[in-house]
Structure 1
């Protein structure tokens, strides 16, 4: 990653807002390899290690790398892994950005963290509102939870997720389409 052309041309002591992408960007994360994990940055190693522990892989940070060997074979488990590894990679990328700034003697202060859709989980972790482990667990749960409302699966992982649905939802037919946005309207009082 070479950030000389843009980011580091800003004046020293810059205030920035760190913005994380949503899952819609996940196609850009294919075949990214292990260069971040292997770059020697201890903060990145810690991120991958904590994520692996949260996912139940123990002290095997390489299990969080986005590659075909690590993808679970069960459909919903795979969707959960994609979310968890996506979160992990984005946290590692942010840590690398901070390290490169430090090496180039450029200081910046992050005044806010935000993200698009799924990126909000990264923002919550980066701001300290969530631990890495809790954020990874949420990411692993989130996509399967949404998808299972329209695509019932019988595997053990899916059943463990579906257990969190309200009883009323479990008793009704599946939603024909996954809905991500809930419309709200104001009650007008006479």
Structure 2
């Protein structure tokens, strides 16, 4: 979680209880699943407080197959089934991120500093974590969404989706919210590279205009826009050679592979069918987003990850 801080001294009033000497007004930022490697090399919770332990325990108990708190640590044994394993990865990452959020608050308090979050936000999957940190979504519901999100995406992939008869109860319950795909009609039919395109803003815009006009989004589609000078795109594996030949006509644009070929195309427009399925599943599960506690607004807004109170929403839908 990234933060920007300012600090001011907090005075106490007569008769008031003890207060921290300082208040730090900060902004919290939660990264996406690509940052989960930060938890692989070490376990940041070897020395946990009761509050952090409570986060991990609650998260573990919210899994479809409940586990103790140790079951969402990076060192825990993941499920054997590939789709269930990917769901566990998302749920564990969310739990660990919220535990770090809690640990940061406790560390600050130990130094007589209150953390006041002016805002929390996130990138990609981190938007869901931010909703939990802000109080727009409960931890248990955040874990449940995180556990369902990736398996639903992979059920829409020709490469990854197992036959329906191989589903356990959890996957069967998710699959019911997807359309009945005829063979060869799933949104993802082969893996895609994630390629970073960087260069002069005008030249990059010209390339993107050409791609939008001449190349189907099933072959090349914008993945994320980081700035006027960098855009990441999905490139279908079978289209890679033609894509590189096309880039020869734009010699001032640099291309760099950022991710090995993947079928997890969460940001692709064609995956709206999965986002709709997730929204339907959330409605069935009575999972709702709400205005953050103490918010002056009657509804929350965001990048497709928040919704008016007492309605369901699909996270990370843009």
Q: TM-score, normalised by structure 2?
A: 0.50
1:18 and 2:28 correspond: yes
CA contact 2:5–2:25 (8 Å) conserved in 1? no
CA distance, structure 1, for counterparts of residue 142 and residue 26 of structure 2: 23
1:156 and 2:162 correspond: no
Tell which structure's C-alpha radius of gyration is larger.
2
Structure 2: runs of 5+ lacking an equivalent: 9-21, 191-264, 271-318
Pairs within 5 Å for 1:160-175: 160-167=173-180, 170-171=181-182, 173-175=185-187
- CA drift of 1:8 comes to 8.2
Aligned to 2:81: 74
Give a deviation string over 1:46-70, Cα, whole Å, max 9, x none.
1111111111454611111112x42
1:28 and 2:38 correspond: yes
**Alignment: residue pair count:** 173
Q: Which structure ranks higher in relative contact order (CA pairs < 8 Å, sequence separation ≥ 6)?
A: 1
Using the TM superposition, name which of 91-100 and 47-56 deviates more. 47-56
Change (3 A) 1:84 1:147: same
Pick the structure with more helix per residue.
1
CA distance, structure 2, for counterparts of residue 43 and residue 105 of structure 1: 18
Off by >6 Å, runs of 4+ in structure 1? 6-9
CA contact 1:71–1:78 (8 Å) conserved in 2? yes
Pairs within 5 Å for 1:45-56: 45-56=53-64
Please state whether the residue corresponding to 2:74 is helix, strand or coil: coil
Q: What is the root-mean-square deviation of aligned Cα atoms in Å?
A: 2.4
Structure 1: runs of 5+ lacking an equivalent: 1-5, 184-190
- CA drift of 1:10 comes to 5.2
Aligned to 1:94: 101
Aligned to 2:70: 62
CA distance, structure 1, for counterparts of residue 119 and residue 106 of structure 2: 18
- CA drift of 1:161 comes to 2.2
CA contact 1:51–1:132 (8 Å) conserved in 2? yes
CA contact 2:33–2:126 (8 Å) conserved in 1? yes
- CA drift of 1:72 comes to 0.6
CA distance, structure 2, for counterparts of residue 7 and residue 118 of structure 1: 21
Aligned to 1:188: none
Pick the structure with more strand per residue.
2
